[in-house]
Amino acid sequence: MNNQTWVKTVTQNRKKCEKIMAISKDIRYAGVFNEFGRTIAGKIRPGIKPIFSPDTVRQEFFAIASMMRLREKSAKRLGSVEFISISHKKINILLFYKNGMTYYITFNKKLKLNSTSINKVKKIITQG
């Protein structure tokens, strides 16, 4: 990927992250990383203290990216992954996968995951 294409990819994904964050004040973080877990773009809500250290974030993104690559291999039989929801005691995580990139969204427990919120995020990701 040349530098101009890279800058365009980062810019497009940064805008998507900002749009995702605008869906609800309960969204803590919206980010995108590639198939190796390298961050393309990300935005954390101002005033939110990150739960993970930078090293832990790299490990988390690498683990999720590896899982998404494995799920992609199952897609021939099962169909492509629409989304993955991970519920933790402190936060929820919503994952989407498109064109080798994983969209990683965290939100407070009080924002209930439902088809409306999932579809809002999915629409932003699939645009352009």
Q: Which residue has the tokens 């199952």?
A: 74
What pTM, to 2 d.p., does this model score?
A: 0.92
Task: With residue 64 as reference, give the H or E element that holds it.
Answer: helix 54-78
> What's 12's domain CATH number?
3.30.450.30
Question: Domains in the chain: how many in total?
Answer: 1
Boundaries of domain holding 111: 3-126
Instruction: Please state, in angstroms and rounded to a whole number, the distance separating the CA atoms of residues 86 and 28.
Output: 15
Per-residue pLDDT of the chain (128 residues; tens, 9 = 90+): 688 888 999 999 999 999 999 999 999 999 999 999 999 999 999 999 888 899 999 999 999 999 998 888 888 888 888 899 999 998 999 999 988 899 999 999 887 778 888 999 999 998 85
Nearest partner of 108 among 22, 27, 13, judged by Cα: 27
